[in-house]
Structure 1
Amino acid sequence: MAGGWSNDGAVQEQIDDSLADAVARARSQLPSGAGLEHCEECAAPIPEARRRALPGVRLCVSCQATHDREQAAFSGYNRRGSKDSQLR
């Protein structure tokens, strides 16, 4: 049941779009191609075990941890437009 200016299924469309955006973003960050023997950020050697466990790895553990913390701060688009999410 739609209310106001929204059509039937508008909420589900928002959920589907948000989910599709999150999946596309996650897939774009997956490593691909040949991995590196040395970190592309700090040039530290990447251990063989890490290269075998993560094909296509490009960062050492500490640089990857820093990268992950930076990515966690990304919240995406505010599709709902609620005041609380705009204040963040």
Structure 2
Amino acid sequence: MADVIDFANDLVQERMDQALAARNANKTATAAHSFMFCESCDTPIPLGRRVAIPGCTQCVTCQSIDEARKARHAR
């Protein structure tokens, strides 16, 4: 037999599910904007790269160096 605590728990779970669904729906609606200039070397990031990789912050050269550095430290 369900009691008041079970109903309260179900209500809380339902509200949490709704909040998470709303949050996830909002995430896809906001797109990341790419930087116009590389954050590392201040060279312009080409339009093609900014369109292909939304949210990019580095030029190809600096991104490659950063990825190589992270791969070396991951070992």
Q: TM-score range by the shorter chain?
A: 0.5 to 0.7
User: Shift of residue 34 of structure 1?
Assistant: 1.3
Distance 1:38 1:75 in 2: 28
Map of 1:49-68 to 2, 5 A cutoff?
Answer: 49-68=48-67
TM-score relative to the length of structure 2:
0.55
Larger radius of gyration: 2
Partner residue of 1:43? 42
Unaligned 5+ runs, structure 2: 1-30
Q: Secondary structure at the match of 1:74?
A: helix
Taking only aligned residues, the RMSD between alpha carbons, in angstroms, comes to 1.6
User: Shift of residue 66 of structure 1?
Assistant: 0.5
TM-score relative to the length of structure 1:
0.47
Runs of 4+ in 1 over 4 A off after TM superposition: none
As a proportion of its length, which structure holds more helix? Answer: 2
